[in-house]
């Protein structure tokens, strides 16, 4: 829903990069037990974070889902996936309690898009890069490359990217460019959730399709589930959904 995403997609579809060869996006989870709110007092601080590490959870549906939503918004649907994953840290701790990790905490997903581009999405509970932003993305084509330079951490929205090529340029937007985020909403955590809700409200009122579609969300979920199947079987998985 953020305006910059449409500009990135237009740059790719307009041929500014030429045929896209390769793309990369990554998200690092670092661990929810370290979130600032958990070091405070009150009901929110007391919420047990161990469910993030139980079967069915892990970094893929927790944080990599944001990167997959972005990269499919720019490059379109994925045709097939394979993946490698393992568990690097079998135990964590929170408030003196040991948390046994039940799911892979280190995953690399290799995707072939319907366009023919190949992409890699990394989801890990490690420390992230000092240069690339959380949720960063890079797309490489025959004539140019698109590098996401900055991401708003409260919302996950990309706010600045650089197009490298014959005519280099910067593509940027402010968080306030999202039409639903008034000044009060700019100060809250995860304001994108409010924007998603309001776009759905407007879609119902105006009798139009929501811009954040259920079809794309379903496709992203299938990427995650097919990646897990690839890890379990050692075989490349074909996707059945499109958007």
Per-residue pLDDT tens digits for 144-165: 999 999 998 878 889 999 999 9
The range of the structural domain enclosing residue 26 comes to 3-232
- Per residue in 33-68, pLDDT (tens digit) is 888 777 778 887 888 899 999 999 999 999 999 999
> Which phi and psi (to 5°) does residue 172 adopt?
-140, 155
CATH number at residue 7: 3.30.360.10
Contact 242, 114 (CB under 8 A): yes
- What is the number of domains present in the chain? 1
Q: Which pLDDT belongs to residue 42? A: 80
Write down the H helix ranges in 58-149. Answer: 59, 65-75
Q: Helix count (H) and strand count (E) of the chain?
A: 5, 11
Domain annotation covers residue 149: yes
For the whole model, what pTM was predicted? 0.92
Q: Residue 242 domain-assigned?
A: no
In a domain, 239, yes or no: no
Instruction: Give the pLDDT means over successive 10-residue stretches in the chain (243 positions).
Output: 93 97 90 80 84 93 94 98 97 92 96 98 91 93 97 88 95 88 81 90 96 95 98 98 96
Rounded Cα–Cα distance for residues 193 and 202 (Å): 14
pLDDT of residue 54: 94
pLDDT value, residue 47: 85
Q: Is residue 238 one of the residues assigned to a domain?
A: no
Q: Is residue 237 part of a domain?
A: no
Closest-CA residue to 119 (of 135, 145, 140): 140
Across-strand partners of 106?
Answer: 86, 124
* Alpha carbon distance 70, 15 (integer Å): 19
179 found inside a domain: yes
């Amino acid at each position: 829903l953020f305006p910059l995403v449409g500009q990135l997609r237009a740059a790719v579809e307009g041929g500014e990069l030429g045929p896209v060869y390769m793309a990369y996006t990554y998200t690092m989870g670092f661990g929810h037990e370290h979130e600032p709110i958990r070091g405070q007092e009150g009901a929110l601080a007391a919420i047990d974070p161990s469910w993030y590490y139980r079967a069915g959870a892990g970094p893929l549906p927790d944080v990599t889902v944001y990167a997959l939503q972005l990269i499919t918004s720019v490059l379109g649907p994925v045709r097939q996936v394979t993946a490698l994953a393992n568990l690097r840290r079998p135990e964590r701790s929170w408030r003196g309690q040991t948390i046994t990790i039940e799911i892979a905490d280190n995953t690399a997903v290799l995707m072939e898009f319907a366009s023919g581009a190949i992409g890699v999405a990394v989801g890990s509970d490690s420390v992230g890069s000092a240069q690339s932003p959380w949720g960063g993305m890079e797309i490489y084509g025959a004539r140019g490359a698109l590098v996401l330079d900055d991401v708003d951490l409260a919302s996950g929205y990309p706010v600045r990217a650089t197009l490298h090529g014959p005519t280099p340029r910067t593509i940027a937007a402010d968080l306030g460019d999202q039409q639903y985020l008034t000044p009060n909403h700019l100060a809250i955590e995860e304001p994108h959730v409010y924007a998603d809700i309001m776009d759905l409200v407007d879609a119902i009122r105006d009798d139009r399709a929501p811009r954040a579609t259920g079809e794309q969300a379903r496709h992203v979920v299938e990427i995650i589930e097919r990646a897990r199947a690839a890890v379990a079987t050692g075989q490349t998985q074909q996707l059945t959904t499109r958007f």
